[in-house]
Amino acid sequence: MTQNTANKTQIRINTLPHAKDLKDPMMYYFLRSIIYPKLPWKKTAWTGAGFPIELLWAYDVFPLHPENMATVAAARKQSQRLIEHAEGMGYSRDLCSYCKTNFGAVDTRIKTSLGGIAKPDFIAITNTICDTHWKWFQIQARHFKVPAYVFDCPSYVSGTSDETLEGYIDYLVEQFFDFSVFMEKHFGKKLTEKKMRRVLEKSDRLCELWQEIYELRKAIPAPYSSAETSASFFPLVILCGVDVGIKFFEKILADLKARVARGEGTLTSGREKYRLLFEGIPFWYKMKFMYELAAYEAVVVYEPYTYSFGPRKPLNLSLDETLRHVARMMLDVPYSYNLEKRIEYFKRCVADYKIDGVILHENMSCRPSSSGMMDLKEAIQRDCGIPVLILQCDMNDPRAYAEGPIKTRIEGFIELMEANRKSN
């Protein structure tokens, strides 16, 4: 550790008073994810990021989330052995570690509390973010002998015209109707406008709160860091159709408002030196990484990853208009923005959140999110005049985390931000 940080090791993240209440939505989800698959009248589906989870709630289907359970396995220090198990089954070291954690979890029948997941009634996924999602789910649907529905999202590449985008939306909307045939055929379930509206209202309320939380993160010093948001965004991932997440977010928001009113930040020192943007999925097996940044008086105040899960939903639209909107959101989320949009989006975030430096997680598991990263780095450095650190690692495979070199790179990055500040 450099001299610069040695005397600051006492600086820590001051967690919010209601942070512990995350256990409420967690318990809500975990209990149901254990019980529902055992009830013959209750339908469950595996799904993943990028899928409009509200659709499942509107069909009264309980979403089971293998990616989320993979993060649980990592947090419970199980992911490495599950990944290695999957590699023993023949899956390449180079494949996504979420997927391999899930293959290992299913094959070893690990408990839910350690990252296990029950067999679903069906599988619903998209290709909007990556190939992995649908390749992985297709394999598991075959394994479980359950039906699968894959929404085919055209890639919204840089330079796509508005007219072409509308054509892509038409295609997705047709698939919503096709999906309704699938749901009726397999489960006798129908989508009603009333149910969809109710779910969207709850989902929008959750997202509204999340966006308010993000607004408060603009405060200096920042009241809330990714050390906490990486866990607390959980209700957005799965619990969009129910109240339990809303109640939790309301408490968090109240804590944040009080903290900002007092002029306090999330660091125990009461001030912050470096405001960071972290791009990518956190290292779930090593969440201490986010906490340890505090020792450098650095706070991650913005993550496109957690922000992506909370887009507002327009209400009072007809079912057709709603489906068009949902389709648009599937093609166009910050986490999978095309490069041109991604660069513009990052520049806006850097300005809005007064960012001093950006950490880009070059994720060995996730080639899609790492594509264009060199250009993104170059554009931020050039246009925003701040340092960017590309950190190569993996979100679920602890074998990729090299403690010493990562620490050295973080310290070098802190020095760069310091030098940059002095020269400005």
Partner 1 sequence: MHTIAYFDSSHDMPEEVITAAGFSPMKIMGDVHASNDPADQYLQKFFCPAARSFLTQALAQSHQWAGIIVAHGCDATNRHYDVWKLHVKTPFLYWFNSPIRNDAVAKRFYIEELKRLIAALQRHYGISISNDSLKNSIAQSNDIKRRLRKLATLRSEKDISNREYFTLVSACMTKPKEECISLLQQAKSDWESRPEFPSHKKRFYLTGSDITYAEWMDLLDECGIRVVRDDLSIGERYFANGFPELEDPLEAIAEYYLTIPRPATKISLDGRIDFIVQSLKQTHIDGVLSQNLKFCEPYAYDAVTVNNELRSHGYKVLHLEREFSPAFDQQVMNRIAAFTEML
Site residues (vs partner 1, CB under 8 A): 89-92, 94-96, 99, 127, 130-132, 134-136, 138-139, 142, 150, 152, 154-155, 157-160, 164, 167-168, 170-171, 174-175, 178, 338-340, 362, 364, 367-368, 370-375
Question: Residue 356: which residues within 8 A CB-CB, separation 6 or more?
Answer: 273, 274, 275, 276, 386, 417, 420, 421
> Which among partner 1, ligand SF4, none contacts residue 270 (Cβ within 5 to 8 A by kind)?
none
> Which among partner 1, ligand SF4, none contacts residue 150 (Cβ within 5 to 8 A by kind)?
partner 1
Q: What are phi and psi of 69, to 5 degrees?
A: -70, -30
308 near ligand SF4, judged by CB under 6 A = no
CB-CB contact of 371 with 402 (8 Å) = no
> Which among partner 1, ligand SF4, none contacts residue 147 (Cβ within 5 to 8 A by kind)?
none
Q: Which of 73, 34, 62, 65 minimizes the C-alpha distance to 47? A: 65
98 near ligand SF4, judged by CB under 6 A = yes
Q: How far is the CB of 160 from partner 1 (least distance, A)?
A: 7
Strand order of the β-sheet with 43-46 is 61-64, 43-46, 122-126, 148-151
> Which among partner 1, ligand SF4, none contacts residue 98 (Cβ within 5 to 8 A by kind)?
ligand SF4
What tokens appear for 238 in the block?
């799965």
Q: Which window, 3-11, 115-123, 126-134, 211-219, contacts ligand SF4 (CB under 6 A)?
A: 126-134
What distance in Å separates the CA atoms of residue 25 and residue 34, rounded to the nearest whole number? Answer: 14
> Which among ligand SF4, partner 1, none contacts residue 158 (Cβ within 5 to 8 A by kind)?
partner 1
Nearer to ligand SF4, 156 or 296 (CB): 156
Q: Which of 66, 50, 63 minimizes the C-alpha distance to 137? A: 66
Binding marks (x or -) toward ligand SF4, 366..385, rule CB under 6 A? x-xx----------------
CB-CB contact of 309 with 389 (8 Å) = no
Q: How far is the CB of 67 from ligand SF4 (least distance, A)?
A: 6
130 near ligand SF4, judged by CB under 6 A = yes
Please give the distance of CA 393 from its chain centroid, rounded to a whole number. Answer: 17
Helix (H/G/I), strand (E/B), else coil: 133: helix
